[in-house]
Amino acid sequence: MSAVRGRFISFEGADGAGKSTQARLLAERLRDAGHTVTLTREPGGSPGAEEIRKLLVEGDPARWSAEAEILLFNAARRDHLERRIAPALAKGHIVISDRFADSTRVYQGVARAELRDLVDRLHALMIGTEPDLTLVVDLDSPTGLSRGLARQSGEDRFEELGASFQARLRAGFRALAEEFPERVKLVDGAGRPEDVAARIWPHVAALL
Ligand code: TMP
C-alpha cells in the first residue's frame, strides 16, 4: 500500500472539538477547487468497519478492556484502509479521514491506559500507513465535552468517561504534535467554524 498518489489528511482531537465540522468544510473547499475528495471517518468508513464501530462506541464504558479495544480499532482500520482509503489514494483522491491512528495512540495509548508501545507495534504490523498531514483541532476540554454530550448521539461511550479523561486526551494530542512536528499540526479550535477553517487552510495549501 505504499505507491500512494493522492493525499491523505486526518483530523484529530478530543470529543466535541469540532473536527467533524472542519473535515466537512475542508472537503467542500477542496471539491469547490476541483479536487476529487473522499471524506471518511474512523472508527468506520467501510461497511465492515462501521459494524465494528457500533461495538466500540455504544454501551457501558467498561464493556471492553483497553487491549481488546486496540484490537477492534485495528481490525476496523485495516478494513477501512484496504477497502476505502488505499483504493481512493491509488485513484489520486484527496482522502480526508475524521480520525485515524493517532486516535488510538492517544485514547488507548495514553488516556485510557499506558499502552502506547502495544499500539505502536500493532500499527506497524497491521496498518503501516500514516497520513501526509494530521490536523489536531485543539479546544479547551470543558467546552468540547459539553458539545459532545449535548449531541446525545447514543455514541457516548468515551465521552461518558468524564472531564479528567477529556483533559488527558487534549494533553495526549498536544504531545503528538510535538512528537511528529512535520506531520501533525495543532490548530486552535476556538471561535466560529469559518475562523477555525481559515487556520487550517494554510497547512493544506502547503501540502497540495
Ligand atoms: P467520533 O466520536 O469522533 O466518531 O469517535 C468515536 C469515539 O471513538 C471517540 O470517543 C474516540 C474513540 N476512538 C478511540 O478511542 N480510538 C480510536 O482509534 C478511534 C478512531 C476512536
> What whole-number distance in Å separates Cα of residue 137 and Cα of residue 25?
13
The pLDDT-based confidence of 153 (bands split at 50, 70, 90) is: confident
> What does the mean pLDDT of the chain come to?
92
Beta-bridge mates of residue 37:
94
For ligand 1, atom 15, which residue shows the shortest CA distance? 107
Each domain of the chain, given as residue ranges in start order, spans: 7-207
Contact 186, 136 (CB under 8 A): yes
> What whole-number distance in Å separates Cα of residue 148 and Cα of residue 170?
14
Q: Rg of the chain's alpha carbons, rounded to an integer?
A: 16
Distance 60 CA to ligand 1 centre (A): 15
The pLDDT-based confidence of 1 (bands split at 50, 70, 90) is: very low
* Among the four given CATH numbers 3.40.50.970, 3.40.50.300, 3.40.50.720, 3.40.50.2000, the one describing domain 7-207: 3.40.50.300
List residues near ligand 1 (CB under 6 A).
15, 42-43, 57, 73, 99, 103-104, 107-108, 155, 158
* Higher per-residue pLDDT: 17 or 95: 95
> Is residue 45 helix, strand or coil?
coil
Grid-cell match 486526551, residue found: 169
Distance 89 CA to ligand 1 centre (A): 23
For ligand 1, atom 7, which residue shows the shortest CA distance? 57
Predicted structure pTM score: 0.93
The H or E element containing residue 8 is strand 7-12
pLDDT in tens, 159-186: 656 788 888 999 999 999 999 999 999 9
